[in-house]
Amino acid sequence: MDTGVRQDIKRSVFLSFSGKLEKTNFMLKVGITGGIGSGKTLVASIFHTLGIPVYDADAAAKRLMNTSAEIREQIVRLFGEDTYKEQQLDRALLASKVFGDPDKLKQLNQVVHPVTIRNSQEWFAKQTGPYAIKEAAIFFESGSDRYVDYMIGVTAPEPLRIRRTMERSHITEAQVRERMQQQMDEAEKMRRCHFVIDNGETMSLIAQVMDLHQQLLQRVR
Report pLDDT digits (tens) over 40-57.
999 999 999 999 999 999
Share of the chain above pLDDT 70, in %: 88
Burial group, residue 165, by CB count within 10 angstroms (0-12, 13-18, 19+): buried
Would you place residue 221 in the very low, low, confident or very high pLDDT band (cuts 50, 70, 90)?
low
- Does pLDDT of 107 surpass 50? yes
Mean pLDDT of 62-90: 95
pLDDT number for residue 219: 84
Give, in order, the Cα–Cα distances in Å from 5 to each of 12, 35, 117, 203.
Answer: 14, 19, 30, 9
Instruction: Give the pairing of strands 88-89 and 84-85.
Output: antiparallel
Strand, helix or coil for residue 21: coil
Enumerate the CATH 3.40.50.300 domain ranges in the chain, comma separated. 1-53+129-221, 59-126
Mean pLDDT of 93-121: 93
Q: What amino acid is encoded at 77 in this protein?
A: R
Choose among 183, 178, 196: nearest CA to 18.
Answer: 196
Domain 1-53+129-221: top CATH class? alpha beta
> CB count, 10 Å around CB of 161?
22
pLDDT number for residue 7: 38
How high is the mean pLDDT of the chain?
Answer: 88
- pTM (predicted TM-score): 0.84
Mean pLDDT of 79-107: 92
Task: Tell which CATH architecture fits domain 59-126.
Answer: 3-Layer(aba) Sandwich (3.40)
Q: What amino acid is encoded at 168 in this protein?
A: R
Choose among 197, 95, 184: nearest CA to 145.
Answer: 184
Give, in order, the Cα–Cα distances in Å from 101 to each of 11, 69, 104, 106.
Answer: 44, 25, 6, 9
Would you place residue 5 in the very low, low, confident or very high pLDDT band (cuts 50, 70, 90)?
very low
The values of phi and psi at residue 24, to 5°, are -145, 155
Mean pLDDT of 123-149: 94
> CB count, 10 Å around CB of 168?
11
Choose among 153, 161, 152, 197: nearest CA to 180.
Answer: 161
